[in-house]
Amino acid sequence: MEPNGILPLWKEPGMTSHDCVFRLRKILKTKKVGHTGTLDPQVDGVLPICLGRSTKVAEYITDQGKTYEAQVLIGYSTETEDAEGAVVDQDPSEKTISRNQLEAALESLTGDIEQIPPMYSAVKVNGRKLYEYARKGETVDRPVRTVRIDSIELLDHNDSWSGQNIRFRIRIRCGKGTYIRTLAVQIGQALGYPAHMSQLTRTESGSFTKAQCVTLAEVEDIAQNGDIGSVLQPIAYGLSAFPFTELTPDLMFGIKNGQVLDAHPILKEKPFIVFTYGGEPVALYKRHPDKAGKMKPEKMFGFPKTGEV
C-alpha cells in the first residue's frame, strides 16, 4: 500500500530538493512524491514532502510562512548573494557597527518590502530561468517583487561588532517568495557596506517545525521496519492555515459532486474553507470569482471509501 501523508523531512546540505524527492521515491517505492518549495543545495532545514493523495495540498504548504536562521557577512558581496559565488564588491576597511545601528537596519526591512530576485535564481523572465541567463554571462531586467517580512530578530548578544568582515546571526519570519540572500544584501545596503548571506537554515515551514523532522537516513530505517506512517502528518495538517467545517446533510450531495453552491458564511471573511466528513478533509472551496454569494471547489480530496455517504 502506497504511503499517504506529509513527511516532515530535514534536508541536509549538499542536496537539491529534487534530489530528496528522487531518493524518497526509491526508498518508499512510490511515484507520488512532491516537495513544498525548493531549498538551495547548501541550505539545510525543514522541507515538507507530500506523498500520495497529499500531493494535492503541496501548493498550500508552499504558500504558508517560513522561518529561517541566517548568518549575514558584512564586508563583501558575491554574484550569487551567498557564500557560493565569486566576490563582486568588497570593502576591506575596519568597521564598527553598534547594536542600535544594526537593529535600526533590521527594523527598516520589516513589513512589506521590495526585492529584486537574484540573477542566480529560478525566477522566470521571458520564459527562461534567471540562472540560465547568469550562467551564460547575460543580464536581464528583473521584476521587482513585494514580499512580507513579519520579523527579523538579532540572535547575537553583542553590543557592537568590529573588523574588516563582520558576521551576525538573525531569525527571519517571512511570507512566500522571500529571498533571504537578497535580504542579507539589503541589510548591508542599509548599513552602507557590501554584504551576503554566509549560511542559512530553514527552521519552520508553515506548521512544520524542526522538532518534527526526520532525515533521509532515518526515513530509510523507518521504511524498512514498515512503520513509515508513524512519521507522516495527515492532509488536514497541511491545510491547517484554513478554517474547517464538518459537512451538514444539506450540503452532502453538492459537495460530493463538486457543485457551485451558496457561499458558506465563513467565506465572507476567509478566502478558503475546508469541508470535512468524519473529520477528514474532502473538499477545499473558495469564493466564486464571478458569481457573488457563491462558492466553487478549489480542490477535491475524495470521500472515505468505507461507510455510506
In angstroms, the CA 130 to CA 141 distance is 10
Does the annotation mark 150 as catalytic?
A: no
Any idea of the CA torsion for 241, 247, 253, 257, to the nearest 10 degrees? Answer: 10
Question: Tell me, what DSSP letter sits at residue 268?
Answer: G
Of the candidates 19, 40, 221, 262, the residue annotated as catalytic is 40
Which residue stretches of the chain are H helix? 17-28, 58-62, 99-108, 130-135, 180-191, 216-224, 235-238, 249-256
* Contact (CB, 8 A) for 30 and 51: yes
In angstroms, the CA 175 to CA 44 distance is 18
Three-class DSSP category at 276: strand
- Residues in Cβ contact with 275 at an 8 Å cutoff, skipping those fewer than 6 apart: 244, 245, 246, 247, 251, 255, 281, 282, 283, 284, 285
Output the CA–CA distances (angstroms, integers) from residue 304 to 13, 99, 110, 162, in the order listed.
39, 56, 44, 62
Q: Which of 51, 63, 109 is nearest to 241 (CA)?
A: 63
| Burial zone of 293 (CB within 10 Å; 0-12 exposed, 13-18 middle, 19+ buried) | exposed
Strands 272-277 and 244-246: parallel
Chain position carrying cell 459537495: 255
In angstroms, the CA 238 to CA 301 distance is 13
Three-class DSSP category at 52: helix
- The residues that are catalytic are 40
